[in-house]
Every structure is written in C-alpha cells, then in structure tokens.
Amino acid sequence: MTLLILIACTISTFLTLMLMSTPLTLGIWAILLTLFFAGVLGLMLSSWGALILFLIYVGGLLVLIAYFVALSPNQKVTPSIPLITLLALLLSTTSWAFLWIAMVSNPKWNLVTSIPTSAFSLTDFTSSMSFLSFLGPSNLLTLPLLGLLLLLILIAAVKVSNRNEGALRPFKP
C-alpha cells in the first residue's frame, strides 16, 4: 500500500514538474521527485541503493539550485489555485487507480482488513533487502556506470562553475 502511494506521488510529481515557473520551485519539485523515487526504490529493491541515489541526486540538485537562484534571485513564488487543484486531482486520481489495479490484480486481497493475506513474510523481506542482491550478476554493470556518471557530473559541475566568470562570483561595483 505504501509502495502504491509512493508510485502515485512520483508519477503526479513528474507530470506536474513542467508546470513550475521559477527555478526555486522547480528545484524543490525535483528534490521531491527524487525523494519519492528513492522511496520507491527503497521499498522495491534496496534501502542502501535508494539512500545512495538520493544523496547523489540531492547533491547535484543543490548545486543546480544555487546556480539558478543566483541567476534570478528576486522572483516571487506565488502558488496558484489552479495548479494546486490540478496537483491534488492528479495525486488522488493516480492513487485510486493504483489501489484499484492492486485490488483487481491480487486475488488474495482481503477487503475487510485492506491488507493482502500473504504479502508479508520474513523470508521474502530478508532476501529482498540483502546487500548481496544489489551486487548480483544482473546488476554487474550498474556500479561502474554509476561511477562513470558521477565522474561526468563532477567534471560538468567544475566546468560550469568557473570562479571568476560564473553566476556565483563576488559582486564588484
């Protein structure tokens, strides 16, 4: 149930990401999207991998937010009523859709307690949360590609943030 709610929040946050008008709200929305995605990844695969993913993305997003806020510092953030209504409608629609799909696709769903009868067992929990499953043969290329991605992001961040010519340079009258 928690996984379905997190997936619904992730999808609705992703679909409304393009409606943000200022860099600050776009950055906050991207951090929320990263938080929801890390929660989904933590519930599905590994909480360790989700934590590392969240820390990497939040670190990169904080650099981007600082850069964009320095470019346009004096914008007012005013939430509009249609945007809030659209977000609430989208979140509730996707939540109910995922709940309905879960109830229809699982024949063991108990409508009285709203919990699947055989969903939780200790052996499934311990085998899915083990660290060695993250380093299995199916994920063998994941770690080197993640390291290469981090190296490229580091190089791009260093190239963008030139000390004397960037947006974060000291103000000289």
pTM over 0.85: no
Token pair for 47: 């909480």
Distance separating alpha carbons of residues 171 and 142, to the nearest angstrom: 43
How confident is the model at residue 119, as a pLDDT? 47
Residue 165 lies in a domain: no
Residue 131 lies in a domain: no
Could you say which residues of the chain have pLDDT below 50?
111-129
How confident is the model at residue 163, as a pLDDT? 62
pLDDT in tens, 2-23: 777 778 878 888 887 777 777 7
Residue 98 lies in a domain: yes
Residue 10 lies in a domain: yes
Residue 72 lies in a domain: yes
* Domains contained in the chain, number: 1
Residue 170 lies in a domain: no
**Enclosing domain of residue 74:** 2-114
Residue 136 lies in a domain: no
Token pair for 87: 């977000």
